[in-house]
Amino acid sequence: MIVYRIVNSHYKNDISGIGAKLKGARWNKQGSSLLYTAEHISLCALELLVHIGFNDIQKLYHILSIYVPDDVSIKKISINKLKPNWIEDKDYTAFIGTEFINNNINLVLQVPSAIISEEHNYLINPNHRDFKKVKIKTSKPFIFDERLYTFK
C-alpha cells in the first residue's frame, strides 16, 4: 500500500511521528507519536490546508509517498462505529488513537477523514515492531496551485 503525507520541506525525510507527539492531534494525545498519512494526495492537501490556512500555502512543502507492506496489521474504524459527534469531540478521537498506540497490536489505524468521511487517513504507529518495514518511497516538492491563494 502507498499512503501520502505533505510536510514542511524541513521534514521531508522524517516519518517519526514526532510532530504529533509534541503537539497532539485529532487521533492522539500529546506525548504519543503517530504518523498521519492519507490514501490520496488530494486528501493530504485538504488535511494540511485546514490546519495551516491559506496564508501559509506559499511555504515550501514536500509530498511523501510512503510504502506500507500489504501484509501488516491494520485496525479499521468505520464511521458507523464512531459516536455521532466524533468530529467535534477531539478528546474522544484522541482517546481512541492513543489507546491504539498504547495497545501496540496493529501497525496502522485506518480512520475516516473528518473532512471527507468517505475517504480515509492511515495513522501509523512508529513504536510498533513492524514500523521498520515502512519506508519513504519518494519525497518531492509540492506546490499548491496559485488559484488557492485567492481564498481567505
pLDDT in tens, 87-132: 999 999 999 999 999 999 999 999 999 999 999 999 999 999 999 9
- pLDDT tens sequence across 44-69: 999 998 888 666 777 789 999 999 99
pTM (two decimals)? 0.94
Which residues, in sequence order, are bridge partners of residue 138? 65
Q: Is 21 in a helix, a strand, or coil?
A: helix
Q: Give Cα 66 distance to the centre of its chain.
A: 11
